[in-house]
Amino acid sequence: MLASKAQIRLKSARDLEALRRSCRLAAETLLLAGDRLRVGMTTLEIDELVHGFIVDHGAYPSPLNYHGFPKSVCTSVNEVVCHGIPSRRRLRDGDIINIDVTCKLDGFHGDTSATFFVGTPSAEARHLVEVTRRCLEIGIEQVRPGRRIGEIGRVIEAYAVAQGCSVVRDFVGHGIGRDFHEGPQVPHFGDAGRGARMEPGMTFTIEPMINLGTWELEILEDGWTAVTKDRRLSAQFEHTLAVTETGCEVLTARSRPLRHSEPTDEPPARPATDPVSG
């Protein structure tokens, strides 16, 4: 996130209905992007795909013109931590790419991202992406009324560091609703005792950015692209959530696994004469 309006706005049941719809569209857009991802495509082609799908569904791609961001989606390749600008750069075999989709439908924003494998990943890329996916999952497991926001960052940081990775500190999760970025801020590091207590009706993202090397980053000349200082790989996953009476609802949950990112149910291809399967 960027500078956020600090206020935490609790959502009504009606607000939540609208948020669910925008979040469902964001999730479907991300599924589509995963389906279409190919070695050799440009990140501009991803932008066109995402833009078209969102607009065709009566929504607006929130990044477009947001504080001057020039495109409709963020595409962050390899050492790019976040806010990568779609361009004529072609994806190469072995790249990883985070695609961060945000759309505004009926006045509410839905925000979700994932890191995908382009072609065949290296062992270290696979490790980083699996650790990052798990960081988001364990962060989500902390969400319930009465807990402090700080619990989320505490478990994420502990796990990432135990896996030999580092947690980005310059960007955090954020409240979301009628504004793209609202309160609270949701750090992916730090002390459990910090931050607001979670309450039913709060809606925010968890979006850990996890690096193989240093957590430190630099912003490129374009004023947007954040890269790791050591140019080693960075990955990110993001969901938009609502705190419920009993726990948490993942508003950007997907109807199926993401292609080129998540393990799928599809059985691995086997030769016809495989003696095990007959």
Binding positions for Co ion, 73-112, rule CB under 5 A: 100, 111
**Which positions from 230 to 269 touch Co ion by CB under 5 A, shown as an x/- string?**
--------x-------------------------------
User: Can you read off the two tokens belonging to residue 20?
Assistant: 């669910």
74 is a contact residue toward ligand MF3 (CB under 6 A): yes
Shortest Å, Cβ 241 to ligand MF3: 13
Question: Quick one: CA dihedral 223, 224, 225, 227, positive or negative?
Answer: positive
Identify whether 263 is preceded by a cis peptide bond (ω within 30 of 0): no
Instruction: State the Cα–Cα distance between residues 178 and 183, nearest whole angstrom.
Output: 12
Per CB under 5 A, which region of 162-170, 207-215, 248-256, 262-270 contacts Co ion? 207-215
Instruction: State the Cα–Cα distance between residues 130 and 30, nearest whole angstrom.
Output: 18
User: Given the complex with ligand MF3, which of 66 and 138 has the nearer CB atom?
Assistant: 66
How distant, in Å, are the alpha carbons of 16, 137, 168, 235 from that of 208?
Answer: 24, 10, 8, 8
**Which positions from 87 to 126 touch ligand MF3 by CB under 6 A, shown as an x/- string?**
-------------x-x--------x---------------
Per CB under 5 A, which region of 10-18, 203-211, 226-234, 242-250 contacts Co ion? 203-211
Q: Which position has the token pair 């949701």?
A: 186
Per CB under 6 A, which region of 34-42, 61-69, 87-95, 118-126 contacts ligand MF3? 61-69
Shortest Å, Cβ 98 to Co ion: 9
Binding positions for ligand MF3, 157-186, rule CB under 6 A: 174
User: Can you read off the two tokens belonging to residue 110?
Assistant: 């839905």
Shortest Å, Cβ 112 to Co ion: 7
Shortest Å, Cβ 66 to ligand MF3: 4
What is the full DSSP assignment across 71-139? SSSEEEETTEEE-PPP-SPBP-TT-EEEEEEEEEETTEEEEEEEEEE-SSPPHHHHHHHHHHHHHHHHH
Per CB under 6 A, which region of 59-67, 137-145, 243-251, 264-272 contacts ligand MF3? 59-67
Burial-class residue 252 by CB neighbours within 10 Å (0-12, 13-18, 19+).
buried
45 is a contact residue toward Co ion (CB under 5 A): no
The β-bridge partners of 248 are 243
238 is a contact residue toward ligand MF3 (CB under 6 A): yes
63 is a contact residue toward ligand MF3 (CB under 6 A): yes
Per CB under 5 A, which region of 18-26, 187-195, 199-207, 256-264 contacts Co ion? 199-207
Burial-class residue 108 by CB neighbours within 10 Å (0-12, 13-18, 19+).
buried
Q: Summarize as ranges the residues that interact with ligand MF3 (CB under 6 A).
A: 1, 63, 66-67, 69, 74, 83, 100, 102, 111, 174, 205, 207, 238
